[in-house]
Every structure is written in C-alpha cells, then in structure tokens.
Amino acid sequence: MKSPIDKRHLSSKQEEIFLTRLINLCGKENFRPKLDHIRSYLSLDRKAIEEKSKVIIIGGTNGKGETSHCLNALLNSEGLKSCLWTSPHVNSITERFRYCSSNISIEELIELLDKYEEDIIRLQLSFYEALFVLFIKYAVSLDIDYLILEVGLGGRFDATNIFTKPVAAITSIGLDHTQILGSTLKEILFEKYGITRINGRLFENIEQKFLKDILCNWCDRDSINCTSVSNESETDFQVRNRQMAMALFSHITGITKINDDFKWPITPGRGDHIDFGEFEFTFFGAHNLLGHQKLLQSLNDTNKVQYDVLISFSSGRQDQIKSILKLYKTYPCIVKSVNILEFQHERALSSAQIKKELQSETKVYEMHNFLDTILGINEEIESNKYSASSTADMPQNIQLQTRNILVVGSYYFIADMQKYLNIRK
C-alpha cells in the first residue's frame, strides 16, 4: 500500500508528464483571438450542457477568479452540483477542473487527453484551448446543475465564450494586457462586454462612473438587463467579489440568505498562507496596478499588519513597474520593505529587464537564493538557480523587519514560490 507521500510524488510525476505531453502538442500557453473553431467543435456538448445546466460566465480585469470560487462554494453549500473552470492554476493543473468541492484527478485528466488527443492535433488547438476542450468534455459527462466559467483573457474571443444564453458578470475594469485588449479602458470594457448576449442578463461591479454610463448605453441598445452589485463606497475587493458571487447565487437559485455556518473559500494565491519557521508567508495574486491598489487598500483598511513585501513582475506590464513600486511607498504603515525578485518563467521579467525599466540602482534578487538567505538555508548556490550571465544581485546582509511576508505578483510567481517553500519545509 502506497503512503500519502508516495501517492503525492506519483501524482506529481504524472502531472509533469501530462504537461510535457500537452506542451509538445500545443506549445506554451498563449492567447489568440479566434473562437469559431472551438464553438463549432463543441456545439453538441454546448447544447447538452445548456439543456441540463445553467451557465454563468465571469469576466473582468481583477476579481473574476475569486468570484467564481465563491459562487461555486455557495452553490455547494446548498447541495447543488456545479462544475467550475478557472485559470491559471497555482499548484496543480487539476485546479482548473473542479466538480463541486473537488479537483479532477490527474488520472482522469490523462484519460481525457488520451481520448481527445487526435482532435486537439486536428484542430491545432492552443494550450489553453485544449485544456478548455477537455474541461467541457469532462463537464458534459457529469450530473451538474450549474457550469461556472472564469474568462481567461478579455472575453469576446476567449474559449469560454461559446454558450448561447449565459448569465454574465463583469467584476472590474482596469488597464491590463493592453497589447491584446486595447490601450484604453473603453476598449478593454468592449472586449469584456463580449461575453454578454442580446436580451441577456448581466451583473457588473465596475467602479468608474464613465464606464458604467457606457455599459448602460450598450445594455439598453442590446436589451440586456444589467444589475450594478456593490455600493460605490465599498472599496474592499474581497467584499465586492463576495457581493458579486452572492448576487449571482441569488439570481440563479432564488436563495437570498446563506447558511450561518457558511465559510468563504480561501483558494491558492488569494490570501492563503504558508508557515515556515518564524515566518508567515501570505500570498495574493496581483499582476497589474489596479490589483495592487485594491490589495493595499484592503490590507490598510482591515488588517493593520506590517509586512515585508516580495514582488515580481511579468512581461507586458513594464510600463506599470515604477507606478506599482511607488504605490507601495505610500503605505508605510503596513509596508516595511519591498524586495524585487526574478523567477524562472517564460512570462517573467528578468532582473536585467526590470533594472532597465527602473533605470536605478534598485536591487533585484533571484527568488530561490533570496529565500534561502532569509530562511537560513545554508548550501551552495545551485547552477539552476543562478548563472554567471544573470544580472540578479546576490542577497547579502538581507534584514527583514517583520515576520510577516506578503508575496504579490502573478499566479506563476506564487506557484513557483509555494512549490519551493513546500519542498524546503
């Protein structure tokens, strides 16, 4: 009989093989503005799902993932069966495929790939599209009351946007992925608005009044019943996300009061913690200026804990680096230090790229070496963590001022750090 550790190791190896196989088939995860091929291929599955289930699609610059998880938890608390699609994942690819309160097993995922590999090749699907196709094939095989879809990028051309009559939600609008979605907030809103349908239903939590006015005009034109959810005075992003989830839940179920023992979920990268020795690491996915603003505002209003911050930056957002770092300096009551880290990922900015943007003497550290230094892990620097060509600074004489470490950046950064910490524990 295998021990839990053996099973975890086996599952990890299976997942590594699965990901390598999928990447070899499709390449790395990239967005492309194309939808007709997915819509056509999944037409029968779409019809089957719409005949038995209510579909909810949730888009927005920030907050869509947490809102999706909260809605899923609300439905499960009432004994209702749901299937949830989210992206990206943090610790495991199986996080993207959720049935009620459980992730798909890696064995089930491998079986799906075995079954539909030829279709993936024939359709020349991207990594993201292939995973979504497998998700729909998974969902159509289940007995579910609700299908919850978190939009990956934009909305109008996202693979999730194949259903004919979904209940739609837009959580927020901010500048992000501007090279794909447009350089203005109105252009970005237009892409998000693409998840709605004529004569459909929309719930929105947009804060900018001029965007609300634009959205209202579009909804009037298209006969869409639009509901604004949160009060303008509510600034806490978690409260707003939960209010959105509750509004959607009440609309699709008719239930207006939740159970007294209900607990809002904490999912990877959205306020979860890892204790390591004397330190407590808290993780929040914040990959754009708006996300960092909302996070700091919320922590300042509700927490009052002082943090040493570990932050990374991703490609496509170079123009926001200075503004984000400047923002953290405006919260000295909760931010004691800001430490910039580089990590290994195709979307991560290297230390050289970050320093080029900052044009200053700001230090940028390699993530593994920095963690080993502050955690007192004494071993020689491994070649895969630091190379002679790297411009990362050596983490010497690092003195953190608190025992509370706030980790912010992309979910890829959070995933890499959580994996490393769990290995080191």
Residue ranges and CATH numbers for the domains of the chain are 25-253 (3.40.1190.10), 270-424 (3.90.190.20)
The set of residues, in sequence order, having a beta carbon less than 8 Å from that of 195 and lying 6+ positions away, is: 57, 59, 151, 155, 156, 158, 160, 161, 166, 168, 170
Query: Looking at residue 316, what is its pLDDT?
Result: 73
- Tell me the pLDDT band of 378, cut-offs 50, 70 and 90: low
Range 242-249 average pLDDT: 98
DSSP state string for 146-158: EEEEE-SSSSTTS
Question: Residue type for 36, please?
Answer: D
CA 190/CA 195 separation, integer angstroms: 10
The mean pLDDT value for 317-345 works out to 92
Residues contacting residue 136 through CB under 8 Å, at least 6 positions apart:
42, 45, 46, 49
Tokens, residue 418: 């959580």
Single out the residue of 136, 142, 147, 126 nearest to residue 68, CA to CA.
Answer: 147
Q: How would you classify the pairing of strands 82-85 and 97-99?
A: antiparallel
- Average pLDDT value for the chain: 91
Query: Per-residue pLDDT averaged across 209-228, rounded?
Result: 97
pLDDT in tens, 103-151: 999 999 999 999 999 999 999 999 999 999 999 999 999 999 999 999 9
- Work out the average pLDDT over 232-258: 93
335 within 8 A of 301, measured Cβ to Cβ: no
Do 110 and 14 contact (CB within 8 A), yes or no?
A: yes
Over range 44-55, report the average pLDDT.
98
Q: Is the pTM of this model over 0.85?
A: yes
pLDDT value, residue 385: 53
- Cα Rg of the chain, angstroms: 22
Q: Which residue has the higher pLDDT, 399 or 411?
A: 411
CA 219 to chain CA centroid, nearest Å: 27
> Residue 230 above 70 pLDDT?
yes
pLDDT at 222: 98
Q: Which helix (H) or strand (E) holds 196?
A: none
Cα gap 101→80, rounded to integer Å: 11
pLDDT at 314 over 80: yes
Listed ranges 155-169, 338-352, 357-371, 375-389; the one with the highest mean pLDDT: 155-169
Beta bridge partners of 214: none
In angstroms, the Cα distances linking 8 to 1, 14, 22, 286, 359 are 13, 10, 21, 29, 44
- pLDDT-based confidence at 11, cuts 50/70/90? confident
Least confident of 16-20, 208-212, 303-307, 405-409: 303-307
Query: For the segment 67-87, what is each residue's pLDDT rounded down to a tens digit?
Result: 999 999 999 999 999 999 999
In the prediction, which pLDDT does 395 show? 84
Grouping H, G, I as helix, E, B as strand and the rest as coil, residue 173 is coil
* Residue of 374, 360, 370, 361 whose CA lies nearest to 402: 374
Does residue 289 carry a pLDDT above 80? yes
Whether the per-residue pLDDT at 189 is higher than 50: the answer is: yes
Q: CA–CA distance from 408 to each of 233, 272, 300, 329, 375 (Å)?
A: 25, 12, 15, 15, 18
Output the DSSP codes for 247-266.
Answer: HHHHHHH---S--TT-----
Tell me the mean pLDDT in the region 42-65: 97
Instruction: Tell me the pLDDT tens digit for each residue of 249-273.
Output: 999 999 999 988 999 998 889 999 9
